[in-house]
Amino acid sequence: MASTYKYQDVFNLVRGQFSLAEEDIKAVAICNMANERIWNYGPFRQTLGKLRPFCLVPYKQEYGAPQVAVPSDFAGFHLAYLTRTSVFPPQVYELQVRKDVRKTHVCDFCSYISYDPASATFRLDRPCPGNVGGHEWIITGDYKKNPTKVTAATMGTTLLPWDDRHLAGVTQVFRWAAAVATGSPKVGELIAMADFEIERMGRDEGFELGDPTVAPSQALVPGWGQQMALYPLTGGW
């Protein structure tokens, strides 16, 4: 489903309950506050973007402009993968996302990745070995976008990022934001109701993708799982 409602439409639904005028100066803050509350709850599909793949470079630990384009709306990693493209099918290994990865001169295949906002660069836990070249190994993944925002000039024309089926829930979150902006004593009550609706939206968006994958907790062949995991990290493949 798509969204056909604008920020102004939802603000108009709640403003009468808090004695707010249609052009109230608090309107923009209420819209952005409500949107951020939903946006930051979890990995809604509207909040995620595809990271542009980049290749590992021998002896290089940090990747940024101009060789690697960090998206302008990048807020943090959602998922990241190390992929070997020189074999068929490609070998894909999930990287662990860390808040901070320290610099090192010890080379190996990476297991962790982080983002340094100060330098706007991605950092791996190990520089790539010198015997890797071309496009053999690449980094791919999904990232969390920064929340979208509206202004007084755009709230009447900007569509909500959330599907129309969530209108009731989004309206409840706007009520909480309006209560915060106006100093209403109902803030405590409304935030509980708002978070309940956001959790429901998360269930609808995140858990309607099918049944969870069922897999054994251990490899069916003893030692096979360990071999699959270790060889790529030591350059055995």
Q: Look at residue 130 in the predicted model and tell me its pLDDT.
A: 87
Residue 65, token pair as written in the block: 């402009």
Mean pLDDT per block of 10 residues along the chain (237 residues) reads: 88 89 84 96 92 93 92 94 92 93 91 93 93 85 95 94 95 96 92 95 69 46 41 38
Give first-to-last CA distance, the chain, whole Å.
44
Q: What is the pLDDT of residue 57?
A: 92
Distance CA 79, CA 96 (A): 8
User: How high is the pLDDT of residue 1?
Assistant: 58
Task: Look at residue 23 and give its three-state secondary structure.
Answer: coil
pLDDT of residue 20: 80
| 233 within 8 A of 109, measured Cβ to Cβ | yes
Tokens of 106: 């010890």
Query: What is the pTM for the complete model shown?
Result: 0.79
